[in-house]
Amino acid sequence: MSFRSTATLLALIISFWQPEGRAQSIAPLPALKDSAKFLVGVALNVGNEVDDLVDIKESAALISTQFNSIVAENGMKMRFLHPAVDTYDFVAADALVEYARGHGMIMHGHTLIWHHDSQLPDWMKSYQGDWQAMLRDHVQQICRHFAGKVKSWDVVNEAIDNRHTDQYRATLFLDKLGPAYIEQAFIAAHEADPAAVLYYNDFGMESKAEKLQFMLTIIDDFQRRRIPLHGIGFQMHVRVDSPNIAQIKSALQAVVARGLQVRISELDVSLNQTRKVANLDPALTQLQKNRYREIVSAYLQSVPPAQRGGITFWGLLDKDSWLVESKPYPDWPLLFDDQGQAKPAFWGVLEGLKELQ
């Protein structure tokens, strides 16, 4: 195995300790992390390259004052950490992990296995060797490297089909190994880092009853066979008007009943997937505020304190959201606007956190 040098890592990290620019001018806000008795996290689109830390320097004060957990939106996925069959590259991810440690934040790992073509390393798409051994090595090399530094992992991401929701998603991993690749990944991760909390992560389970039921069937099977699955991540990419809160509560409670940890792992609230408006207006911001408040409140009502893995928002500023990057129309799905100012959504989250603890 080969690994990239980390000789320049420490000097680079030190240069980011002091926040600069826009974040210094942000008026003091109540800290979300201080209003919750569980982890409140944010996804940062860094870790792809060491220089990505430059992108968060201007928002460093906002990140460190509001959140106590971070996750790499893309930079700890397969193609970044395992770029060649015998090569692992941890330099950029190490920088992010060290950034989290230096700011007293918990690091969540995302994700060990994901099917998406854009995040698969090219070599893996044509691999002709022993797939079971290769995937096991992939999981264990990464988990061992970050043992004691990464508290929890999304081990497998989005393995259930989103159209035929009572089936496994057709992926390269399913084709090569069948559904057993999922349990094999959890077993390998647990062996490599027994202290890590291991999650299955997916979207739409709070809105699609068949998908939820299929996921629960997997959980029940794993629990009968003592497969080391510790929690479920509900991505919760939702709209202001759907799914309804009763559905969300029911889905969370179904996992709680099985004794697992529950994370809202990728929370954002889209305003424009159905409306397609050109500009954000005050009425929409109030709808979004109310939606964030009721989702946070539903989490607190449905998940007992001992099972709360936390809530992570999938991005910091509206302009950085994957929804803005991937859609042909504007959207404003996050808690802070493009200048780092708190939107009504921020105050909705704060209200939800204060309703129940």
What is the rounded average pLDDT of the residues 216-234? 98
CA–centroid distance for 226 within its chain: 25
Instruction: Look up the pTM and report it.
Output: 0.91
Report the CATH architecture of 2-15+30-355: Alpha-Beta Barrel (3.20)
Spatial distance between the Cα atoms of 90 and 145, rounded to a whole number of angstroms? 8
For this structure, is 266 an active site residue? Answer: yes
- pLDDT tens-digit series, residues 122-153: 999 999 999 999 999 999 999 999 999 999 99
For this structure, is 158 an active site residue? Answer: yes
Q: What is the pLDDT of residue 20?
A: 44
Interior angle at CA 351, CA 345 and CA 354, nearest 5:
145
Kindly tell me if the per-residue pLDDT of 18 is higher than 50. no
Q: What is the pLDDT of residue 23?
A: 41
- For residues 22 and 81, the model is more confident at 81
Kindly tell me if the per-residue pLDDT of 77 is higher than 70. yes
- pLDDT tens-digit series, residues 253-280: 999 999 999 999 999 999 977 666 777 8
- For residues 170 and 18, the model is more confident at 170
Q: Catalytic one among 73, 98, 158, 294?
A: 158
The ranges assigned to domains in the chain are 2-15+30-355
Spatial CA neighbour of 315 closest among 340, 291, 295, 293: 340
Q: What is the pLDDT of residue 25?
A: 40
Kindly tell me if the per-residue pLDDT of 26 is higher than 60. no
Q: Is the Cα torsion angle 24, 28, 34, 39 positive or negative in sign?
A: negative
Spatial distance between the Cα atoms of 77 and 116, rounded to a whole number of angstroms? 10
Q: What is the pLDDT of residue 57?
A: 76
Q: Which residue has the tokens 């990140």?
A: 63
- For residues 304 and 166, the model is more confident at 304
Q: Catalytic one among 98, 183, 206, 266?
A: 266
